[in-house]
Amino acid sequence: MSLINRPNIVELDAYSDPQLEYSGNNGLYSRFTNALNTPILKAKSVQVLSVNCINTAQQLNDQSQLMFFYYASLTLAGIRTAAQLRCVRLHPSTFTPFSGFTAFTRNRYFNTVQELVAALNVAAATGGDSTTYNPRWVANQVTFSYNSDTRKISITGNSSFFVAPAAADDSLVQDFLNNTGSFTSQRPVMYGFNSSASTYAAATLQPYVIGQSMNARLGWAMGYLNRGQWWGATSQQGCATMTGIPQSGNAMEADASPILLGSQNVGVYIPETTGSGYDSMRNKNLAASVPINVAPLNVLTYLTPGVENKLMSVPAELYQLSIELRDDNGLPFFQPPSYNVQVVLAVKYDDDE
């Protein structure tokens, strides 16, 4: 039964949020709010009926997947040390450099694995980065390649260097990102447009997430303590591959194929439902998980299946409703203000059958 202040269906639209263009300092938004002309009174539950948005997921997430970690040494034994940890990285797609600065390689939409590998080789070569802002980068130390038959990426150590991909849960990698242990002022930073000086201290820290890296996206997904199927007497803990053996001069093929999919789902959250739903990372207020089944920059449309999944923790009076979007990693699923997001909700009341 629909009465005054008791609508059965509510449409929420990002374009109806007057603060949309001001919601984030990166020029993007992942949350919007619609003020209701009249409050919704005594609602019992809400349920997402449909979601319509643009798939903005990049193949490598700007917030967590732009750093590739490896160890490099001229000797095979004892390769895993803090001094020998290296990082090849891409800058976020939204990065704007300081005027005249060119020593960077920016993340972007990659149509093929070959395009991604080409970008990584630019980032790994002279002029692709700067030791001032990425102290763990060594130019021309490694080369990436792609085998279209096996559909796997490989890494090769140059100039007689042995290389060993490092796991994201490796304690040295985590110390590096946490700026603890043997690492001080080593994390990659960005010499951006607003930097006050061309120094490490004046640059902006590059986003990262502990426990995540580019390695897994490229096919090196082994954990630090995991001993692979082909582990042997000369294998080394810290070489996160199926063999555990660092290589020099030979292409070290990844254990798995690369995954050019920045996110498989978009989580839709309604803050006003005060904890009705949880995701696997314990973010509250989950209302729906929308599978991404279209190519980047295409319209993603979702209709709720017939099974009811109502959120029951609803305030007695609703004066506004907000929508938040998150990716598989629990990070904001950003949209530029030129892209609209529309969410339709069903609202039910105590006396509804």
pLDDT digits (tens, 9 = 90+) for 52-68: 999 999 999 999 999 99
- β-pair partners for 158: none
> Which residue has tokens 């967590």?
64
How far apart, in whole angstroms, are the C-alpha atoms of residue 210 and residue 67?
Answer: 11
Calculate mean pLDDT across residues 199-210: 95
The answer on pLDDT for 3 being more than 70 is no
Query: pLDDT class for 353, splitting at 50, 70, 90?
Result: low
pLDDT digits (tens, 9 = 90+) for 88-101: 999 999 999 999 99
Fill in the DSSP letter of residue 47: E
How far apart, in whole angstroms, are the C-alpha atoms of residue 240 and residue 266?
Answer: 30
Alpha-helical regions (H) of the chain: 113-124, 171-178, 214-218
The answer on pLDDT for 25 being more than 80 is no
The answer on pLDDT for 1 being more than 50 is no
- What pTM was estimated for this model as a whole? 0.89
CATH of domain 9-57+263-349: 2.60.120.1100
Q: Per the structure block, which two tokens stand in for 228?
A: 């692979």
Domain ranges for the chain, please list them.
9-57+263-349, 59-259
Cα distance between the two ends of the chain: 9
Per-residue confidence (pLDDT) for residue 352, from 0 to 100: 67
Q: How far is CA 172 from CA 70, 79, 215, 227, 251, in A?
A: 11, 12, 15, 18, 24
What stretch of H or E contains 300? Answer: strand 299-303
Q: How far is CA 179 from CA 76, 115, 174, 198, in A?
A: 27, 32, 8, 21
pLDDT digits (tens, 9 = 90+) for 44-53: 989 999 999 9
pLDDT above 70: percentage of residues in the chain: 98
Q: Per the structure block, which two tokens stand in for 120?
A: 């990584």
pLDDT above 90: percentage of residues in the chain: 80
The answer on pLDDT for 2 being more than 60 is no
Cα-Cα-Cα-Cα dihedral of 96, 166, 65, 216, to 10°? 150
pLDDT digits (tens, 9 = 90+) for 240-264: 999 999 999 999 999 999 998 888 9
Q: Which residues, including other chains, have CB under 8 Å from residue 307's CB and lie 6 or more apart?
A: none
Q: Where are the beta strands (DSSP E) in 24-63?
A: 31-41, 43-54
pLDDT digits (tens, 9 = 90+) for 122-163: 999 999 999 999 999 999 999 999 999 999 999 999 999 999
Alpha carbon 133 to its chain centroid, in Å, reads 21
- Backbone φ and ψ of 311, nearest 5°: -95, 120
Mean pLDDT, the chain, rounded, equals: 93
Fill in the DSSP letter of residue 21: G
Q: How far is CA 175 from CA 44, 105, 170, 211, 223, in A?
A: 47, 25, 9, 11, 16
Cα-Cα-Cα-Cα dihedral of 144, 145, 146, 147, to 10°? -140
Per-residue confidence (pLDDT) for residue 24, from 0 to 100: 72
Query: pLDDT class for 265, splitting at 50, 70, 90?
Result: very high
Give the dihedral sign, CA 212/213/218/223: negative
CB atoms within 10 A of CB 28: 17
pLDDT digits (tens, 9 = 90+) for 105-121: 999 999 899 999 999 99
